[in-house]
Structure 1
């Protein structure tokens, strides 16, 4: 018999029996170890819980978290299944050590930095869940080495690339003998709206009649939703964008306003909440389908293989606004809470310094009557 300061801070008596003193002491020690695992307090997660079960319990917890978007929950479930369970599914919580995590993350980073980063984020969330349930005292992930992202500077589109994309989008599938669906011009218009508003592709696809104010000078667009694909529910318009800061009203240039007026004319008799871009059945266009068509347009423009994506339009907008105005203006336009993300991931920095520096540095010139050394 002994007294144990239990998980709730209270002293409790613990007893065990055995045929001999040594066996009784051994049984008592084993019982104390078992009580130290939170399982004896009625919790469902212990140090002996398999990682696959831990992940399933964690998914159940986030399923009722109203702060997470359904698309994020679906993404976490997919990443758990594809990134983590193949490596950790048969191990228990106590077997997830810092050394094993270090080796796993280095192997992942050797294949793909992006996969390693996603795996680390997900492991951290799940292991913190295990800590909250008392299955582990410390997060073993905290002792692993930080991941180092390969250097990759943001790349904005050039005027030549923009011209080629616009031409290819305008002429996509216009040949008389081309198989496949006939173009309706929506991708061409989506490109102009993204360039004129800095909207993400899902945000552009979620724009409705009521989100536009064409009477303002200049016209404005209220970006306050995005199109998502939910597991088991299909494609739908989500009533909020990616982040709180992404909910914004932006003024648009004339070239984008002309496109929006043309789209409005097509749905002039429709409900104010009718989408500007939609399928033949009137449903939202999925971002996946829009990206697939965009890849085909890039191929026709001879720009495939250059890493150009719909997100490149946001980088182009950010770079131009940074050069002509400020980084703060660029961040505000893109819907970022601060400039850090905008500078690191969106603004392409030019290697050539501002020519104005030459005029300023003339202030260091020697007096005109000074003879150069012979």
Structure 2
């Protein structure tokens, strides 16, 4: 097992250096690798070279049942654990430690499709237009409006928005385009609409100077003048949703989901939405087509004269 643990460390180092994975992603990978190796050891499998496809199937089944030393996992979590195990085996094959990659033969567990939560266009307008609509408008009002307008206006992940600096915004070659740095430090260009531009510029001129203590170059600051945290951003959204009277339990990611859904409903093609969201595969983006199809079915059921069941024969 010592050789397998050494191989795992080499793989994690490879992911950090060659793939540029984030600290959080690497931490998740390490946890899953350690769980997998511990399971192998507990089942008396001494080396990755001794693993059979049936062993991996048993591992995934144990994760789902919670008999691997932890709580029972949902299908998505077990599938992610299998992805990590597959990655380790594939790396072992490439490094000559393994003669065959048995992990590629194992199918991930079936998962129920979860449709992402979204807000309607009317709810988005109610949420955003209500921020700073009353006098006096504070620097925090301006910041919150700018943050939420940018999240919805670009489809940015919250981590991407909070990583922006003042220079990222002000030193753009094209004033209508913003550069976002996504997973793996990959950059993508996203259009920045008029509403988001106006909100961010109002914040930069009238809001951010009052918050800044010269401690941070981050675009979005907290009341202490340091970089706004993810938890604080979530709290801001929760507060603003409540103030708007919107009965929904949402997160900053809900604005990203709403952005994608509204683009597709407005006629955008899925490949363009994939690029705007920074998805590496169109498969990830396709979940939004289920959302829009669901909306279309609801419209059809309400509007089509033959949608309702006939009373003939009753």
TM-score of the aligned structures, taking structure 2 as reference length:
0.70
Distance in 2, Cα, partners of 1:134 & 1:341: 32
Structure 2 unaligned segments of length 5 or more: list them. 66-72, 305-314
Larger CA deviation: 194-203 vs 127-136: 127-136
Cα pair 1:155 1:346 within 8 Å, conserved: no
Equivalent position of 2:312 in the other structure = none
Equivalent position of 2:291 in the other structure = 348
Distance in 2, Cα, partners of 1:108 & 1:345: 29
Distance in 2, Cα, partners of 1:278 & 1:206: 11
Deviations 1:194-251 (Å, cap 9, x if unpaired)? 111221111211233333369999x5241233xxxxxxxxxxxxxxx32677520413
- Pair 1:189-2:109 in alignment: no
Greater strand content: 1
Distance in 2, Cα, partners of 1:133 & 1:295: 48
Tell me how far 1:297 sits from its aligned partner: 5.7
Distance in 1, Cα, partners of 2:98 & 2:89: 8
Equivalent position of 2:46 in the other structure = 92
Distance 1:55 1:260, change over 3 A: same
Deviations 1:47-90 (Å, cap 9, x if unpaired)? x6464444334334444x24323423333223334x43442355
Deviations 1:293-328 (Å, cap 9, x if unpaired)? 545666775746x5x322221221112121223224
Matches within 5 A, 1:121-160: 121-159=83-121
Distance in 2, Cα, partners of 1:337 & 1:141: 22
Distance 1:249 1:113, change over 3 A: same
Structure 1 unaligned segments of length 5 or more: list them. 1-47, 172-181, 226-240, 360-374
- Pair 1:68-2:17 in alignment: no
Distance in 2, Cα, partners of 1:142 & 1:216: 45
Matches within 5 A, 1:39-78: 49=2, 51-63=4-16, 65-71=17-23, 72-78=25-31
- Pair 1:274-2:217 in alignment: yes
Distance in 1, Cα, partners of 2:9 & 2:116: 37
**Count of equivalent residues:** 278
Larger CA deviation: 204-213 vs 159-168: 159-168
Bigger Rg, structure 1 or 2:
1
Distance in 2, Cα, partners of 1:133 & 1:329: 37
1:260 aligns with one of 200, 225, 231: 200
Higher relative CO (CA 8 A, sep ≥ 6), structure 1 or 2? 2
Equivalent position of 1:198 in the other structure = 155
The Cα RMSD (Å) is 4.1
- Pair 1:324-2:266 in alignment: yes
